Structure 1
Amino acid sequence: MSSTTQTAETTIAVVGGRLVTPDSVLEGGVRIEGGQITEIGEIDADADTVIDADGRLVLPGLVDLHGDDIEQHLQPRSGARMDAAMALASADRANVAAGITTKFHAISFELDEEADRSPELAATMSDAIVDATDLLVDHRLHARCEVTQKRCVEAVLDVLDNGDADLVSVMSHIPGKGQFNDIEAFRSYYENSSNHTAEEAREMIEERMSIPMETIRDRIDRILDRAHECGAVTASHDDENPREVERLAESGVDITEYPITLETAKRATEVGMTTAMGAPNLVRGESQWGNLATAEGIEAGVIDTLVADYHPPSLLAGVFVDTGEPLPERVKRASAAPADAVGVTDRGRIEPGKRGDLIVVDPEPTPMVTNAIVGGKPVYRADATMEVSR
C-alpha cells in the first residue's frame, strides 16, 4: 500500500548527469513519461520539465525498510507530543531531502509509558501513515512487535488483519539477549535515559525475564503466521546466534535486521535470509552497542541492505563510504536490494520500465540531494539554478 497519491501527467528529462545504473556509471540523461523511466543515456531532452544535473550523480530513489526517525518528529523533546499528521509531514520532508523516496516507517508496538511508547500510540501513527495523502514520498508501514508484551502482540495482529502493514518484525528486548546481551547494558541504558529511574529499570528486567521462552516463541509464530496469511513481509530483530536465525528462517522470516555477530549474519545468508544493517553504523564506523560493525559484514559479503534506522541522512552517506566496491554495488544496498526484499520490484533501479524515482546528488563534501523525483513528479529542489521548465 502507498500513502502517496501523486500522478505524473508531464514528461521529465534529467540531463547532463552521471547515471548510476545497476551495472555501471553512465554519462547522459533519463527521460520519464507517465511516471516511468522510458529512456536512459542519450535521450530526447524535449520535455515539459528539464532538470540539468550539471555533472552531478543521478541515483535511483533510496528505499528505507527500517526508519524510526518519525519518533523524533512526534516527540521532539520529552513530554512535548506533536500531532501525528504534523509529525508525518515533517518526516516526509526530512526523508526526501535525504534521498529516500520509499519509506517504511518502523513503528514500535511496545509498552513503555515513560518513554511515551504504547500500542495505542503505535496504532495512531499507523493509521496516520496508511491514511495520509498529498505527501512527497511513498510512505509504508513497518510494524515492529515487542513480543514480550501480550498487548503489543494483539495490537500488531489487529494491524495485520486490517491489511495495513507491508512489513512486520518481531523483537524481544530481554535483558541478557540480543542488543542487550549484557544485563548491565540493559540496566544502564534505561537508568541513564531521561524517562526511567533505577527502580523502573529493575522492574523492567524482572518483568521481561519472567516470561518463558516457549511463550515468546509461540507469540512470534502467531505474528509470523498471520503476516504470511496477509501477504506481509516478515523480519526479525537483533538475532544473536546462528541457531536463532535457523529457527526463524524455518518459520518463514524473510529478513534479519541487525544480527549481533558476524557468524549470525553468515548463517542468515546461508539459509537465504536478507540481511539488513544500519547505515549509521557504517557511517560512524561502529555499532552503538558494540555488536557487529556494518563494514565488517560488508567485507565478509553478508550484508544485503542498508537501513536509515534513526538517521535518514546516513542512508545516502552510507552509499559513499568506501568499502572497496564499485559505486553501483553500494547504491544497490540502499535501493534495488531493499526494494526486492519487500517485493516492490518496480523501483530502485535506473532502467526503462521502472518507476520514476530519482535523486540528483552532489557527493562532495557531504552527499546532498539537490533534486528528487517521485513517481515521475518533481517534488524537491535544493538548487534553484538547476531546473528549467519549458
Structure 2
Amino acid sequence: MTAETVFSNAQIVLEDRIIAGSVLLRDGRIADICEGSSRVGEDFEGDYLIPGLVELHTDHLEAHYAPRPGVRWVKMAAIQAYDTQVAGSGITTVFDCLRMGSDDEGGFQQGEMRDMADTLAQAGRENRLRADHRIHLRCEVSTENVLAHFEQFENDPQVGLVSLMDHAPGQRQFQTMDQYTLYYKTKRGLSDDAFAEFCARQQALSARYSAPHRAEIAKACAERGIPLASHDDATLAHVEESVGYGIRLAEFPTSFEAAEASHAAGLSVLMGAPNIVRGMSHSGNIAARDLAERGVLDVLSSDYVPFSLIHAPFVLAGEVETVSLPQALAMVTATPARAVGLDDRGRIAIGLRGDIVRVQRSETIPVVRSVWREGRRVA
C-alpha cells in the first residue's frame, strides 16, 4: 500500500534558492515539489521546510555515556537520550564519534567503544532510534593502543568515517603552550611539576607513534573505501600530507593558511557550529566566521552542542553578507552528505530520502517544529 504525505504552504529551502510551495513524500522518498499555495496536506504556515541535517562529527554521545569522571551510564539508555536530543535538533543522519586510543590520562578502555557500537546496532535493530546513526572513529594516533582499538572495527559496516588526530602539545590544535596549559593544566588542576611531566610524556608518545599509526590507519581506510578526515591541520606540510593520504575532509584547521590550502586542494573544510554561534573557537584558534567570509568554509559540525547545527546556519546567513541561507544550510545538509558519499540525502530533490525538518525562524534562535526521517515523523 502506497504511503503519501503532503507538506503545504512552506518556504522550501533548495540548494540555491528558497521557493514557496508544497512537497509530496511517497513511500519515504520525495516524489514531487510544487510551487504555489495549496490547501492539501499538513500546513507549514510559512515555516521553512529544509532537508534533515547531516552531522559528521559529534562527541556528544560521550557526554551521555560518561556524564561525570569515573561514571559510566547504561549504554542503551545513554544512546536513547542522546538520539532524542539529536533528532530534536533536526539531525536525521549522525556520525557518532567513538574514540580510538587511550592512555593513563584519559580515554576509554579497549572494548568499551566496541560495546557501544554493538549497542548502537542493537538499538537500530530494535527500532529505538529516531535518527540514522553511523560511526565515526576518532583515532588518537599518538596513543600506544590506537591500532588495537581500531582493529576491533575491522569488519564493521557501521563505520562511515575515520579521522586522524594528535592532541600532543606543540601539535596541530595546540601549537602554543598557552593554549595547551589552559586546556589541560588548568582544567585538570595539575601542579607545575605534574604538568611538565604530563607534557613530556605526551610529546614522547607523539614522536614515537603518530607517524606510523597515521600511515597504517590511512592505508586500512583506503583499502576498505572508508572516507578519511584530517584533524586540526595547521601548516601547508600538514595539508600536503592529508592530500597524499587521500583525505576528503579537513576537520577544524587551526590556521587560515591550512584552511585555504585544504579548500584549494578540494578537501571539504569543516568547522564547529558552536564556533559560529559563539563567534570564536573554544580553544583559541581561528573563527569559523572568518573562513566563511573568505569563501573557504564548506561544512559545519555540532561538535559538542547538537542544537548548534541548526542554530549556526541562521547566525551565519544573518551576519555574513556573502552567505545566503540556502548556502549556510547546505553546510549542514548537502555538502556533508556528499563528503562521505551519501548521495541519497541532504537536499530537497525528487527521488531523495524524505528526511524533512520544519523550522520556524525567529529573530534570535530558530525553532525545530517537526522532524521526519524517510517520511516517518520522529520528532
TM-score by structure 1 length?
A: 0.89
Distance 1:254 1:348 in 2: 18
The CA deviation at 1:79 is 3.0
2:44 corresponds to which residue? Answer: 53
2:361 corresponds to which residue? Answer: 363
SS at match of 2:159: coil
1:20 corresponds to which residue? Answer: 13
The CA deviation at 1:161 is 3.7
Distance 1:196 1:185 in 2: 15
**1:189-338 aligned within 5 A:** 189-193=183-187, 201-211=195-205, 213=207, 215-321=209-315, 322=318, 323-324=320-321, 325-338=323-336
- 1:226-245, CA deviations, whole angstroms, 9 ceiling, x for partnerless residues? 01111211001111111111
Against the structure 1 CA distance between its residues 182 and 112, is the aligned structure 2 distance closer, same or farther, given a 3 Å change threshold?
Answer: same
Amino acid in the other structure paired with 1:81: R
- 1:176-212, CA deviations, whole angstroms, 9 ceiling, x for partnerless residues? 1111112343233223335867665444322221146
Q: Is the 1:115–1:195 Cα contact (8 Å) retained in structure 2?
A: no
Distance 1:283 1:78 in 2: 28
2:375 corresponds to which residue? Answer: 376
Q: Is the 1:13–1:46 Cα contact (8 Å) retained in structure 2?
A: no
Amino acid in the other structure paired with 1:327: L
The CA deviation at 1:307 is 0.5
The CA deviation at 1:341 is 0.2
Amino acid in the other structure paired with 1:285: G
The CA deviation at 1:288 is 1.1
SS at match of 2:152: helix
2:77 corresponds to which residue? Answer: 86
Distance 1:242 1:116 in 2: 30
Q: Is the 2:234–2:257 Cα contact (8 Å) retained in structure 1?
A: no
The CA deviation at 1:46 is 9.4
Find out whether 1:40 has 2:24 as its counterpart.
Answer: no
Q: Where in structure 2 are there 5+ consecutive unaligned residues?
A: none
1:110 corresponds to which residue? Answer: 101
SS at match of 1:66: strand
Q: Where in structure 1 are there 5+ consecutive unaligned residues?
A: 1-7, 381-390
Q: Is the 2:9–2:38 Cα contact (8 Å) retained in structure 1?
A: no
TM-score by structure 2 length?
A: 0.92
The CA deviation at 1:114 is 5.4
SS at match of 1:19: strand
Against the structure 1 CA distance between its residues 162 and 62, is the aligned structure 2 distance closer, same or farther, given a 3 Å change threshold?
Answer: closer
Q: Is the 1:31–1:45 Cα contact (8 Å) retained in structure 2?
A: no
SS at match of 1:309: coil
Find out whether 1:100 has 2:76 as its counterpart.
Answer: no
Distance 1:250 1:116 in 2: 29
SS at match of 2:77: helix
Q: Is the 1:160–1:230 Cα contact (8 Å) retained in structure 2?
A: no
Q: Is the 2:143–2:205 Cα contact (8 Å) retained in structure 1?
A: no
Amino acid in the other structure paired with 1:370: R
2:161 corresponds to which residue? Answer: 167
Find out whether 1:342 has 2:340 as its counterpart.
Answer: yes
Deviates more, 1:18-27 or 1:321-330: 321-330
Amino acid in the other structure paired with 1:341: A
Distance 1:150 1:46 in 2: 62
Amino acid in the other structure paired with 2:366: P
- 1:6-51, CA deviations, whole angstroms, 9 ceiling, x for partnerless residues? xx9621111111000112111111110111000112499798xx42
SS at match of 1:320: helix
Amino acid in the other structure paired with 2:151: L
Distance 1:115 1:368 in 2: 36
1:124 corresponds to which residue? Answer: 115
Deviates more, 1:187-196 or 1:301-310: 187-196
Identity of aligned residues (%): 32
RMSD of aligned alpha carbons: 2.2
The CA deviation at 1:214 is 6.8
1:72 corresponds to which residue? Answer: 63
Distance 2:268 2:213 in 1: 22
Against the structure 1 CA distance between its residues 110 and 295, is the aligned structure 2 distance closer, same or farther, given a 3 Å change threshold?
Answer: same
Amino acid in the other structure paired with 1:70: L
The CA deviation at 1:315 is 0.7
Distance 1:45 1:349 in 2: 22
SS at match of 2:136: strand
- 1:277-317, CA deviations, whole angstroms, 9 ceiling, x for partnerless residues? 10000110011122111001111111110011001111101
Q: Is the 2:13–2:50 Cα contact (8 Å) retained in structure 1?
A: yes
Against the structure 1 CA distance between its residues 114 and 205, is the aligned structure 2 distance closer, same or farther, given a 3 Å change threshold?
Answer: closer
SS at match of 1:369: strand
